[in-house]
Amino acid sequence: MKIRLMASLLAGVSLFGLTACQEHHGENGSKIIPQATAQQSSEEADVPAAQSGRAVETETGEIHNDMLVMDTHLDTPAYFHTQEYDFSQRQSFEEDGTHVDLPRMKAGGLDGGFWVIFTAQGPLDDASYDAARNSAVLRQMAIRELAAKYSDEVELAFTADDAQRIADEGKRVVYQSMENAYPLGTDISMLETFYIGGLRMVGPVHFRDNQFADSATDVSGEEFGGLSPLGEELVQKANELGMILDGSHASDETVYDMIEVSETPVILSHTGVDGVYDHYRNIPDELLTAVADDGGVIQINAYGSYLEALEPSPERQQAMNELKAEYGDDYYDMDEETRAAYSEARDEVDAQYPEPRSTFDKFMEHLLYALELVGPDHVGMGADWDGGGGVEGMSDITFLPKVTAALLEAGYSEEEIEKVWSGNMLRLLRAAEEARTSELTSPGVLN
């Protein structure tokens, strides 16, 4: 049975007609794109085994495996409390829509990264804040439970120096990030609780404007023109605690404000570039240059509808229009019963008429564009695995060696490529650690 997560539509009728922004995010942060069959995509089926991510040529494979390979946006924790998912067993995107598990991490040389605590945006009231807080705490507990259950294979990471040590011990690295600070409510001190639990990266906003900031994809009207006063407090608290600040999903004005207010550089943990495809979720050249000039980093995502305009089939478009007519176009305003019914109906549409997918070449176009614009000191990888990422030719993390091979072919050195895979992200984490003034600590004890 396919693992299916709730999906939603972007807020606002004006966004509904945008091809790349029509239908998105549910419980995990970015919607899984399940396939109608278990067959390989046409591009992957045509790739010889020696060139695929599962079996790159020996020399390139050795180079890749010798690097510390990290990804800054793994939505996999959304699966940790589901019946169908087993982190210890190799699963398949073609069969269940997943991208990450322990066997595939080993096969693709993924040493770890930031595992996401995501909470969907809801109403801005106390009862909703409390419910979101409980959900986020449980998600963090699930991440810590993973580290306890598989302690021989994975380990929680709290500092930049932990990553290499954990990898050298043959384990996978588990940092934690928070996508959408909404569950903090209006109590900034809640960030301390999540820090103690291991949180080391926080993004203020997701698909809608919230109490902290304006979102890139909420075009209903600027709420604050960037960060709110509470959002500025959030940035300052993150600096105090030693967390990286994540500008993905934030409006351009919000990112500019984050650069201005923060004492440390910001990251865009899973973002594309406007220079390849003009989209609300992608960043324009001038802002990317500002992020880099401040020392920050963009981590390129592999979410197809942010990479290029993808035209759904007429059958899928008709089915989606019928869903809109029946359920409305605003997932976040649905009550719980309506959401469940919508999600079930949406799963049926996705199974019968799968969403179109982008390609590995288009992903590389975004990556190489960013590298050309701001250089290898300011670019990394945040593909949005298990959150809608993945393209034809790179359907899951077993294909990561293809990225290393493509960067080598493009003329980048091994040193530069390792910066892309982990060095730049760890540099930002070290900068956050050096700036921190808090004396709070995160106990590593899991029993």
Q: 397: domain CATH number?
A: 3.20.20.140
Shared domain for 233 and 110, answered yes or no, is: yes
The residue type at 299:
Q
* Three-class secondary structure of residue 375 per DSSP: coil
Q: Give the integer Cα–Cα distance in Å for 296 and 169.
A: 29
| Average pLDDT value over all residues in the chain | 87
Note whether residue 96 is domain-resident.
Answer: yes
Note whether residue 121 is domain-resident.
Answer: yes
pLDDT value of residue 59: 85
Cα atoms in the 13 Å half-sphere on the side-chain side of 102: 19
Contact indicator for 226, 213 with CB cutoff of 8 Å? yes
Q: Is the pLDDT of residue 233 over 80?
A: yes
pLDDT value of residue 268: 98
pLDDT value of residue 165: 98
Of all residues in the chain, what percent carry a pLDDT higher than 70?
Answer: 87
Regarding predicted confidence, which is higher, 113 or 326? Answer: 113
Shared domain for 351 and 218, answered yes or no, is: no
Shared domain for 127 and 208, answered yes or no, is: yes
Residues 68-87 have pLDDT tens digits of 999 999 999 999 989 889 99
Shared domain for 270 and 340, answered yes or no, is: no
Q: Give the integer Cα–Cα distance in Å for 303 and 311.
A: 15
Note whether residue 103 is domain-resident.
Answer: yes
Shared domain for 301 and 346, answered yes or no, is: no
In the chain, how many domains are there?
2
What pTM did the predictor assign?
Answer: 0.87
Note whether residue 172 is domain-resident.
Answer: yes
Q: Give the integer Cα–Cα distance in Å for 283 and 212.
A: 20
Contact indicator for 54, 399 with CB cutoff of 8 Å? yes
Shared domain for 362 and 237, answered yes or no, is: yes
- Average the pLDDT over 368-375 and give the result: 98
Q: Which domain holds residue 76?
A: 53-310+357-435
pLDDT value of residue 249: 98
Residue 334: band (very low, low, confident or very high) from pLDDT cuts 50, 70, 90: confident
Contact indicator for 414, 407 with CB cutoff of 8 Å? no
Q: Is the pLDDT of residue 2 over 80?
A: no
Note whether residue 6 is domain-resident.
Answer: no
Shared domain for 368 and 341, answered yes or no, is: no
Q: Is the pLDDT of residue 443 over 50?
A: yes
Regarding predicted confidence, which is higher, 211 or 11? Answer: 211
pLDDT value of residue 447: 59
